[in-house]
Structure 1
């Protein structure tokens, strides 16, 4: 297994699939550090009080929210912990949606889900079911101390857990000055559109991301390696190790039985919702019928009173 961020389980109905969560990203960035040119020493950043200019020790540092200019609400570690999501190692799928219905702009960060040995059969079942249905499982997952919205779908033979941005995190396009699609002054002439489509057609190729490289990084690394070969010294900076939390899901004893029970529960939930809707409709119909009867009775009473007075 690759280095896991945490180990837990996927909750699929009553089925638990023990998995390990690993990052799907590999960013071989060239790390450049700030160095003092006089003696080539790393530059250290200090925690300085903005008013006094004095360095602040760790035991005096607290977190605060600036609600007005210069006014802060101080938050202790205990207060912050009280509003944090419950630390859980379960990715509980709450619903399934068409993968094509998820706006790609909501995609944020991908992770791979790798099964543990005792969960491979259930893992393969969920994977193939998602592949055939073309759907994605929506869930919430807690990574370290933050809760994320996520979508689970299939890529090749792996289940991908894609962290999603909440819709509130996406800027509204109404803040941009855009040419309106229904404004005729921006409509292209037929010749212009034909030429644009022809250009797109001529430039269309099969997408092969393996042919695309980070040219800047390759050029920078080639330049650095050239300097190394000339005898310049380079510090070897190790990446900080990621936390590997322990935890595992429960073993699946009878997969078909759990699935059948899950289907029954889902069916009961749907039927209960339908019966509730029907009951509400009946009550609404009865109320409207009573109101109509009362109105008719009132009308008749009014007519009889007018006849008497006449």
Structure 2
């Protein structure tokens, strides 16, 4: 049985419409979750909102949203006013265009969802659209009101279904130039670049998500088990800092030993037996 849908609506392409359902594709619900606890009593701590000036608690029904227009000056919005600003949705994913999936930089990818037929009666239209997209090797850009916001969605064939990935807005993606501005224009060539290429060739493989473990999550689970067993937890010593030689690291990664340093004897020119070692005298002018 398919997991419970988090949204149901219609996928619309021109005159073709089919009922669809969205399912969560990635979730953090399986991660270990902690509560805040009073160290002295072991009791759980609850969050209380207080007035920043009076210090008095503010009950939930008195809490409203505020947009700061100047220091300490807020435009207050009631829940009813905010609800009125939420765009009206007709539960329809309207396809605006078909594009090549590679046309979108993955910086714009937000969150993936599985898109399936909502019922048997609409399955034929769903499969027709999926196979048409697969044959033409295209993805669809659609728009819909999802989770109280107008969202752009990238829809792609995946197995027997479709993947619907919500997209970030352009203003949400920071320009790369801001992050890369201070990177110098160094030119790498010669042995150093050859070693880097060799390392990449020897490490070339294919992505398999099952091969990657969440080591932090596993460490937390072991920590909880150790605490339950009454074991003493030792603090991890800080990492030791050491010098870094880029060329040496490249050679070691590539499995190539560093060249042996030339001895002074080998470097110096051989002297004939009995040759004078004193400095030559200056010839009289």
TM range (shorter): 0.7 to 0.9
**CA drift at 1:226:** 4.5
Aligned to 1:195: 195
Highest CA radius of gyration, 1 or 2?
A: 2
Aligned to 1:26: 27
1:272-294 Cα shifts (integer Å, max 9, x gaps):
xxxxxxxxxxxxxxxxxxxxxxx
Aligned to 1:169: 172
Q: Which SS does the other structure have where 1:21 is aligned? A: strand
Aligned to 2:106: 104
Q: Quick check: 1:125 aligned with 2:149? A: no
The structure-2 alpha-carbon separation of the partners of 1:179 and 1:36, relative to structure 1 and needing over 3 Å to count, comes to closer
Q: Quick check: 1:149 aligned with 2:138? A: no
**CA drift at 1:24:** 0.5
| TM superposition outliers: structure 1 runs of 4+ over 6 Å | none
Listed as ranges, the matches of 1:25-64 within 5 Å are 25-27=26-28, 28-64=30-66
Q: Which has the higher helix share?
A: 1
Could you tell me how far apart the structure 1 residues matched to 2:92 and 2:144 are?
Answer: 7
- Gap runs ≥5 in structure 2: 231-285
CA RMSD of aligned residues (A): 1.9
Aligned to 2:18: 17
Aligned to 1:224: 224
Could you tell me how far apart the structure 1 residues matched to 2:34 and 2:131 are?
Answer: 44
Aligned to 1:248: none
**CA drift at 1:118:** 1.0
Q: Which SS does the other structure have where 1:7 is aligned? A: strand
**CA drift at 1:223:** 3.2
Q: How many residues in Structure 1 have an aligned counterpart in Structure 2?
A: 227
Aligned to 2:252: none
Listed as ranges, the matches of 1:232-271 within 5 Å are none
Could you tell me how far apart the structure 1 residues matched to 2:67 and 2:121 are?
Answer: 46
**CA drift at 1:192:** 2.2
* Cα contact 2:89–2:144 (8 A) shared by 1: no
TM-score (norm 2): 0.74
The structure-2 alpha-carbon separation of the partners of 1:228 and 1:12, relative to structure 1 and needing over 3 Å to count, comes to farther
Aligned to 1:72: 74
Q: Which SS does the other structure have where 1:41 is aligned? A: coil
Could you tell me how far apart the structure 1 residues matched to 2:226 and 2:130 are?
Answer: 47
Q: Which SS does the other structure have where 2:97 is aligned? A: strand
Q: Which SS does the other structure have where 1:127 is aligned? A: helix
TM-score (norm 1): 0.69
1:158-196 Cα shifts (integer Å, max 9, x gaps):
20110000111111122232436xx4xx11123322221
1:105-144 Cα shifts (integer Å, max 9, x gaps):
1111011112121111111111111112221111122223
The structure-2 alpha-carbon separation of the partners of 1:26 and 1:59, relative to structure 1 and needing over 3 Å to count, comes to closer
1:33-61 Cα shifts (integer Å, max 9, x gaps):
11112222110110100000000122322
Q: Which SS does the other structure have where 2:38 is aligned? A: coil
Q: Quick check: 1:7 aligned with 2:8? A: yes
Q: Which SS does the other structure have where 2:51 is aligned? A: coil
**CA drift at 1:227:** 4.2
